[in-house]
Amino acid sequence: MVVASANQVDFMIKGITKFHAFGQELWVTTTEIGLSIVTIVILILVFITDKKMKTATEVPGTFQNIIEFVVESLDKLVGATMGHNAKKFVNYIGTIFIFILFCNISGLFGLRTPTGDFGVTFMLGLFTFFIVQYQGIKNHGIGHFTSLAKPFPVLLPINIIGEITNPLSQALRLFGNMMSGVVIMGLWYGMMPIFVNIGIPAFLHVYCDLFSGCIQTYVFCMLTMVYVNDKLD
């Protein structure tokens, strides 16, 4: 039985090509390639959906049924979590849900999962942070900051740390779970004999990319809604 050596294990982010800008050396990596492909696929689906819905008939076809099911499911998810505030954020939550989901399951199609890069999940967490702070200031004014000293002023440092670490924990949770799948698949393909790389990896992909990807998408969006909703009441 021949087993690959450790240097054949491949789960790292790789540079595809480099270029220079503003005096700096920059790289286009597998993460950028994956994000670009995911974005293009989503945009194509959006254009197809827009065209199909404009020409929709009284008897919906399979594609229209699927789209309506997805939209209704997202509406119910946001509505159940955010209540009367749902209408303001359903488009944003729906967008990041679809984007993160497509990134998470892209490993099924041979891409290195973009959300297995902390730079991607950190930016998603940062968006949540800015939205939460904006809504807090918009709805409570100076009270958004003074509330951090409640119920006791001594808790101010702890509450400030909590505000900062919420999006960071979101980013790390999504990154850690998706990166673990990338590592598992990299170890399997790199160190197992070639005859067990047929068929068996499909089951691992179903768990690491599909099942875990769906769960982590749900968790990230749910936490985003909870954090935002907390600043609206």
Cα–Cα distance, 214 to 24 (Å, whole number):
37
11 within domain boundaries: no
Contact 101, 213 (CB under 8 A): yes
At 18 the pLDDT is 84
Cα–Cα distance, 179 to 166 (Å, whole number):
20
Contact 231, 144 (CB under 8 A): yes
Contact 124, 100 (CB under 8 A): yes
Given a cut of 60, is residue 98 above it in pLDDT?
Answer: yes
10 within domain boundaries: no
150 within domain boundaries: yes
Give the pLDDT mean for 159-170: 90
DSSP secondary structure string, 153-170? Answer: GGGHHHHHHHHHHHHHHH
DSSP secondary structure string, 173-211? Answer: HHHHHHHHHHHHHHHHHHHS-GGGSSSHHHHHHIIIIII
Domain coverage including residue 186? 18-230
2 within domain boundaries: no
At 3 the pLDDT is 38
Q: Mind listing the pLDDT tens digit for each residue in 14-69?
A: 888 888 888 888 888 999 999 999 999 999 999 998 888 887 777 778 888 888 89
The total number of structural domains that make up the chain = 1
- Extended strands (E) in 138-221: none
97 within domain boundaries: yes
Q: What is the pTM of this model?
A: 0.87
Give the pLDDT mean for 168-181: 92
How buried is residue 18: exposed, middle or buried, by Cβ count under 10 Å (0-12/13-18/19+)? exposed
Residues 6+ apart with CB under 8 A from 175: 115, 116, 117, 118, 120, 121, 122
How buried is residue 183: exposed, middle or buried, by Cβ count under 10 Å (0-12/13-18/19+)? middle
> What percentage of the chain exceeds 90 in pLDDT?
45
Give the pLDDT mean for 62-85: 91
33 within domain boundaries: yes
Given a cut of 90, is residue 103 above it in pLDDT?
Answer: yes
Contact 95, 42 (CB under 8 A): no
At 12 the pLDDT is 80
Give the pLDDT mean for 155-182: 90
Q: Mind listing the pLDDT tens digit for each residue in 1-11?
A: 333 444 455 67
CA atoms within 13 A on the CB side of 229: 18
At 1 the pLDDT is 32
5 within domain boundaries: no
Q: Indicate the range of 107-116, 123-132, 180-189 predicted with least confidence.
A: 180-189
- 156 φ, ψ to 5°? -55, -50
Contact 123, 35 (CB under 8 A): no
4 within domain boundaries: no
Choose among 215, 192, 182, 232: nearest CA to 31: 182
Higher pLDDT, 15 or 95: 95
